[in-house]
Amino acid sequence: MHRRLVVSPSLRQVAAAQEGLVSSGQCREHGLTKQNVAALVGRQEWGRVARGVFDTGVGGGTADLYDLPRRRAALVGVLARPGSVATGLCALVWQGVQGAPARIAPEVTFPDGSPRSGGPGRVRRERLRRWVVVGGLPCVPAELALAQAVPELDREHAVAMMDSARHQRIVTEDEFHRAREATRGRRGAARTSPWWGESDRRAESPIETAARLACTDATYPPDALQLVVRRADGRFLGRSDLAWLLPGGRVLLVELDGRDAHTTPTALFGDRSRQNGLTSHGAVLLRFTGRDVARGVVVDEVRRVLAAAGWSPHPWPADRAFVLLT
């Protein structure tokens, strides 16, 4: 009968901050020997994620299960290579930027730019003058991470991540423009250069970005993003993700719901009340999910409404509310 190994509360705390993962070095620091760790893995109490990185089964702090594999990828690269710094997509994901592909590979660099063999994922040979520590993980600044990641992405993910970084102010506007300049000379820079101009900091989610790009490609670019709509008496009626101004003082409003948005009874009641207020005052309100965006439903429905109304482009000032007069 095996003697039960006790994992110290301090190591469990480290694991909880690292989505359940710990390195062999952290195990030694908190009292576990190499033999102890091998025993935990052998008994299947722990899992081996990569050489020198283990899954303790301790719950992490990420509520979004879709984001967990990405965050773990960011962690694995650094935990498996002590002294390294997370780069590119891994650095962006760990700093809270949304819109990355569902699966990403670990990637790191060493501050001196030296090559290293072995270990999971990729090692960039890029010297660093500075880096940041976020939640205990060393990362290249988001400005540099964008410059590294964008040239290697497809358009939808690239623009979504640029939108998210700007909207959340993870990068300033100056840093965003410097990131664009920093792509020069990188493989993929020429291919992705036009996408920087398609980014819009008003976009609040990757779903919104995908819908905006799809409608723009279909020659129906939104007239406004995050449009505030009021009655003639000034009463607030709502704020729409995407909007098109229609002839006769009417407006088409599109809302894009995330996985968990608008699902509670209170939220549904509030949305229904708001929808009634908008439609009774001359607005056309369409609501879609991420699946609708992927299937092309948004473009088809928007095209149908705009064609029937005789719409033509009418860009609306970003800081100006739209007043429904009817």
pLDDT of residue 310: 95
pLDDT of residue 62: 63
**What share of the chain has pLDDT > 90, as a percent?**
79
- Residue 122 predicted with pLDDT over 90: yes
- Quick: pLDDT tens for 170-181: 999 999 999 999
On whether the CB atoms of residues 302 and 220 are closer than 8 A, the answer is yes
In a domain, 2, yes or no: no
In a domain, 293, yes or no: yes
On whether the CB atoms of residues 170 and 96 are closer than 8 A, the answer is yes
- Residue 319 predicted with pLDDT over 90: no
- Residue 325 predicted with pLDDT over 90: no
In a domain, 84, yes or no: yes
247: pLDDT confidence band, cut at 50, 70 and 90? very high
In a domain, 63, yes or no: no
Which of 147, 167, 198 marks a domain boundary? Answer: 198
Q: What is the Cα–Cα distance from 218 to 63, expressed in whole angstroms?
A: 36
Tokens of 240: 């729409």
- Residue 140 predicted with pLDDT over 50: yes
pLDDT of residue 234: 87
- Quick: pLDDT tens for 18-58: 999 999 999 999 999 999 999 999 999 999 999 999 999 98
Question: Taking residues 110-117, what's their average pLDDT?
Answer: 90
- Quick: pLDDT tens for 253-288: 999 986 543 333 333 334 554 554 465 556 899 999
Closest residue by Cα to residue 135 from 88, 86, 172: 86
pTM: 0.89
Q: Give me the domain span that covers residue 94.
A: 68-198
In a domain, 156, yes or no: yes
Q: What is the Cα–Cα distance from 58 to 240, expressed in whole angstroms?
A: 40
